[in-house]
Amino acid sequence: MELTQEQIDYCMECGVCTGSCPVSRVLPQFSPRQMIKRAMEEPDGDLTRAREIWACLTCQRCSTRCPVAIDFPEFIRSYRQKARGRGNIPLESHHGMMQSIAQIQMGETQQQRTSWAKGAGEFAEKGDYFYFVGCLPYFEVIFSYLNISPIKSARGVLALLNRMGITPVISNDERCCGHDALWSGNEATFLHLAERNLEIIKSSGARTVIFSCPEGYTTFKDYYPKYLGDLPFEVIHMTELLARELPEANLSFRPSDNGAITYHDPCRLGRGSGLYEEPRELLGLIPEARLLEMGRNRENSLCCGTSAWMECSNCSKAMRIERLNEAIQTGAKTLITACPKCQIHLTCAQGTAEMDLRVTDLYAYLLDRLDKAE
């Protein structure tokens, strides 16, 4: 990524990026501004060998506030590719399990991605709509020790789609979207996964691809066209689809059994895609549910503390505990998010502190309260 002369001239002046960065609050030596300065002083040197490039969450809190519109996450991503080429690689979380799964999916591995959907709803092999489930089936197994069910989110999506008259394609051949590989500087893996997914979706005949995962959504929307050209289908997030189609859907929901809830904006869905109100509109459909906003919400939301299954540190855990305490301070008993990774990370942090707070997924929450079809 190249900076314009205006961006270079003004970059060192304000420090808004460092002042906004959640990492710099926990690690005082971390400074986006200083990293840009180092890159300008040694374009092909020092920064590619620095460990700090892996600490960035790419949460976009700095870039949304930058007065000269420097896209710091993109800046970091470009240097991560160079760093990996020089042997500077990130510390992978969970023993590199998710990275290994992505690598396996590059081959002709037979997957059982649709078994969860049998009995949960109607789906097809070909059709106008394709539901891109993402890594939820793998999360279901890997994170079972947290006593959460990520795949319940997919069941909620399928139930809602069926009730709206949509029978989506769900494919055993779908691959990881490549988000994590892309943001950890591994473009070769990202490209391979992206090309496979494009082939699979084209062969289904789908004209619209639906995402419940914010990372899959932004990867397809922003990066597949950048690397592969214009896509031959519409890319839409489930909250967008519901906001568009709900007036004709005639869905109804049972009242909340615990009225006070709060909502955590995922970075990729909020700052990354500008989808702030759609999830809140869905929560507003639940009778007797009271949405109590945290002090930092929408574009000011605090990141859950980890990106691309890497560099999960005490710094990350401190951010999660801070976010959970912020949720508790609202008086809510349930924290709802629309990102499976946010649910996993925040639930994991609860294991280090006793908190009277339930962390749940948006679509699982809606599924629990969806009235049965007449």
pLDDT in tens, 285-297: 899 889 999 999 9
Instruction: In whole angstroms, give the CA distance from residue 237 to residue 235.
Output: 7
CB 114 within 8 A of CB 123: yes
The pLDDT score that the predictor gives to residue 111 is 80
Contacts of 358 (CB under 8 A, 6+ apart): 333, 334, 335
Alpha-carbon distance of 277 to 152, in angstroms, equals 23
Element (H, E) at 164: none
Q: Do 81 and 152 have their domain in common?
A: no
What CA–CA distance (Å, rounded) separates 141 from 125?
24
Q: Is the pLDDT of residue 98 over 90?
A: no
Q: Tell whether 226 and 156 lie within a shared domain.
A: yes
The pLDDT value given to residue 324: 95
* Residue 258 scores a pLDDT above 80: no
Task: Say whether pLDDT at 349 is over 60.
Answer: yes
* pLDDT tens figures, 310-325: 878 778 888 899 999 9
Residues 266, 232 within the same domain: no
Residue 279 placed within a domain: yes
Portion of the chain with pLDDT greater than 70, in percent: 94
Cβ count within 10 A of residue 10: 14
Position 109 confidence tier, pLDDT thresholds 50, 70, 90: confident
CATH number at residue 311: 3.40.50
**DSSP three-state, residue 208:** strand
Mean pLDDT of 158-180: 94
Return d(Cα 262, Cα 326) in angstroms, integer.
Answer: 10
| pLDDT given for residue 6 in this prediction | 64
Please report the pLDDT score of residue 112 as a whole number.
Answer: 83
- Domain enclosing residue 295, as ranges: 251-369
- Residue 8, pLDDT > 70, answer no
**374 found inside a domain:** no
- Determine the Cα–Cα distance for residues 266 and 288; give it in Å rounded to an integer: 24
- Could you tell me if 41 and 116 lie in one domain? no
- Give yes or no: residues 114 and 62 share one domain: no
Does residue 352 register a pLDDT over 90?
no
Answer yes or no: do 156 and 28 share one domain.
no
Mean pLDDT rounded to a whole number for the chain: 89
pLDDT of residue 265: 97
Residue 264 contacts residue 335 (beta carbons within 8 Å): yes
- Per-residue pLDDT tens over the stretch 10-69: 666 677 888 888 898 888 888 888 888 777 777 666 788 888 889 899 999 988 888 878
